[in-house]
Structure 1
């Protein structure tokens, strides 16, 4: 569950060492190199970009199937994947504000019972627990922070 600001280390398959083939002893079947799993449509490939509030242009990569949006709180044990603590000086974003899920290649946004609400494309406030599908270019408003959702191609 990680939303990494761009510039932070997010390992990629290309940066991982290639395992060497294992030797086998006589009488045992030879070890076969394990094939990489086929590319799945449920692998997260998206980002959020701050459009208004805080550091405009700051990006958060959505690298897991679930990413929490909120504000960091060490005392409360809250460490959101998309941490807007430094970008929300008025504390309008709840500590546990919203969550983005990736299911079968579709991204869904869910409000977690935030104080100031979660909105998509300036529409109605999302009801807590209801999942709203996201499309490339959608605007997400949490507190006074405006984020743009983008698929990474």
Structure 2
């Protein structure tokens, strides 16, 4: 019998996102960077050309042992398994990530795969193997950096639109009130001006 033995090393495939719904279903995006930006703009790491996506919609950050999804103040929101994100969230393999109403991606966590075979010396029969101390890596909780959401320009535009519409409605109500008072109650309308002596 040969004095050599085989050892199989395992490595991890990178985590990835698979498009389930939206433009280009079935497309796979591997998460190889520390920070991955998602959005409609072509400058993002993952660019998805859907009108429901904001220019910079969300960010995925790789932390020790996990990936964290964070919405960047998008107009139509980011979702994990149908639940809208209100704070950064750690992803689990199999989670369905939604961006607006049209785009759904599946998060597939890292999985081990056989990498290579290593030749090593076999321990002779009768000899006690040398004890090896295996130190377990203890995952320390890493604080998730919460940065201010970068403005995409769209939420602010909607706020200004609503403010303008509100001012217009208020202006119409005031003009209508003055017109009605002038027609039906001019004594009340002009009384302050008479007291001040502006009109006789």
Q: What range describes the TM-score normalised by the shorter chain of this pair?
A: 0.5 to 0.7
What is the alpha-carbon root mean square deviation over aligned residues? 1.6
In structure 1, what is the Cα distance between the partners aligned to 2:13 and 2:38?
Answer: 16
1:96 maps to 56
2:94 maps to 137
Which is helix-richer, 1 or 2?
2
- In structure 2, do the counterparts of structure 1 residues 44 and 81 end up closer, same or farther at CA, with 3 Å as the change threshold? farther
1:82 aligns with 2:39: no
Give the gaps of 5 or more residues in structure 2.
Answer: 1-11, 112-200
- Give the counterpart of 1:117 among 59, 77, 87: 77
TM-score (norm 2): 0.47
Query: Structure 1 segments of 4 or more deviating over 2 A?
Result: none
In structure 1, what is the Cα distance between the partners aligned to 2:70 and 2:13?
Answer: 16
In structure 2, what is the Cα distance between the partners aligned to 1:139 and 1:67?
Answer: 17
Distance apart, 1:44 and its partner CA:
8.8
In structure 2, what is the Cα distance between the partners aligned to 1:69 and 1:140?
Answer: 12
In structure 1, what is the Cα distance between the partners aligned to 2:74 and 2:13?
Answer: 24
In structure 1, what is the Cα distance between the partners aligned to 2:91 and 2:98?
Answer: 13
2:104 maps to 146
Summarize deviations over 1:105-140 as a string: whole Å, max 9, x none.
Answer: 2110000000000000012x112xx21010001000
